[in-house]
Amino acid sequence: MTLNNIKESELEYREAALHDIALSAGALALERYRARTPGDFTMKGQQDFLTEADTLVEAHIRQSIYRLFPEDGLLGEETGGSVSNPSLWVVDPIDGTANFARGIDHFCVSIAFVHNGETLLGAIYNPATNEMYLARKGHYVRKNGQPLRVSSITNTHSSSFELGWSTRVPQETYLAIVSSLLESGTNIRRGASGALALAWVAEGRTDGYAESHMNAWDCLAGLLMVREAGGRTGLYPQNHEEIAQGGEILAVAPGVSEQFSSATMITLAPETNRQKSNQLGLIA
């Protein structure tokens, strides 16, 4: 049995299914991406894009999961759902829809499996670049089969930090964080896919990511990846109910974690023993 009472064999079955579903969903997203018409999108809100592909890909994922795991719950960006089921899949069919709609190859499918409020599995797949990130709690995080580790950077003056933006947070708060980050000496970038931003922290492409409010479907898989790669994260989510609400997100390389926690005004979660071991190079 695992720590939160799901059989090892059951988790392994979901792990294999997650990989296959992410691949097939990515293939469908890529097909729609290549066939898209420029400007063929609608707006759910300010800078919140929706394409036909979002709905189609989420329907594909939902049908695939329910066919294999009819007793599980699903929370999706486009079709919603309840978080009451102890076995819950959290799905963003296309994260980075603005990039997708504008023909920029920086978007992904993001899927997490949560049991009793704890993220156990995560997949982030960019079909345009064929980059598949997979993680299992307490076991691994890999990209295309290769193990990942966060950067070993210790000086913010040579760091690169990605900052997300949310309409749920006052612009003054966002600008204050930008100012504080610039004062720290870091280079600020924004790729417009929060899930890929977290995956990039896990593999050391960037040294940190923060967003003052992020939804669960954008971040649960990526947060697991960062932790498994030896990085530090914020407190979200602290319980099952918080998953439905979203929250403030921080993911960062340990050598600059305290500085970026201060700059973003986001509290870090305590380090786990696995994170400490990973930082020391004791986990392959």
Q: What is the pLDDT of residues 164-197, one digit of tens each?
A: 988 888 999 999 999 999 999 999 999 999 999 9
CA–CA separation, 2 vs 9, rounded Å? 10
CA distance 253 to 191: 18
List, for the chain, all residue ranges whose pLDDT scores fall below the cut of 50: 1-2, 43-49
Q: Give the C-alpha distances (Å, rounded to integers) separating 147 from 43, 130, 140, 180, 201.
A: 38, 16, 7, 33, 13
What's the pLDDT at 46? Answer: 47
Burial label, 19 (beta-carbon count in 10 A; 0-12, 13-18, 19+): middle
Gap between the Cα atoms of 214 and 43, Å rounded? 18
What is the separation of C-alpha 155 from the centre of its chain, rounded to a whole number of angstroms? Answer: 25
Q: Where are the alpha helices (DSSP H) in the chain?
A: 8-35, 52-68, 97-101, 171-184, 194-202, 216-228, 242-245, 257-264, 273-279
Give the pLDDT of residue 282. 58
Count CB-CB contacts under 10 A for residue 1.
9
Burial class (CB in 10 A: 0-12, 13-18, 19+), 5: exposed
What's the pLDDT score for residue 1?
39
Output the pLDDT for position 45: 44
pLDDT value for 222 = 98
Diameter of the chain measured on Cα atoms: 51
pLDDT at position 49: 44
Q: Name the DSSP letter for residue 267.
A: P
Please say whether the beta carbons of 260 and 107 come within 8 A. Answer: no
